[in-house]
Amino acid sequence: METCEIPRKDMLPNPVYLELDKGGLDFQGAWDAAKNLAQMLYYEPMLLSWFDKNAGKYSPQTVTCCREDMPGWVEYARSRGGNFSVNINHEQYIFIFRGGEEKP
């Protein structure tokens, strides 16, 4: 993983922070929590990009940084309407969504 792909919380669109038990937390558990939260906040949220710090993976993967000051996977989501993110355990896992209509 390139250093330019590592996020800072100030880069994320409208972050919602979650603290989850780190002992047994894996990508699937983090994804389930993020998806459930997104579905509580928005109608038809769509995942646009994600980051897994432990595995050193992110999606979509880019060959180079899109911008010097922004990881490519964050810029990808923002440029496609990403309007909120779920930040789990201080950037351990991040999921960026495009939310539909907000739920009341």
pTM for this prediction: 0.90
Q: Give tens-digit pLDDT for 2-33.
A: 566 778 889 999 999 999 987 889 999 999 99
Strands (E), 13-99: 15-18, 46-52, 57-59, 84-88, 93-98
pLDDT of amino acid 65: 57
Compute how many other C-beta atoms are within 10 angstroms of the C-beta atom of residue 94: 27
pLDDT of amino acid 4: 65
Q: Kindly report the average pLDDT of the chain as a whole number.
A: 89
Going along the chain from its start, the domains and CATH numbers come out as 15-98 (3.30.1490.340)
Q: How wide is the angle at C-alpha 99 spanned by C-alphas 93 and 102, nearest 5°?
A: 120
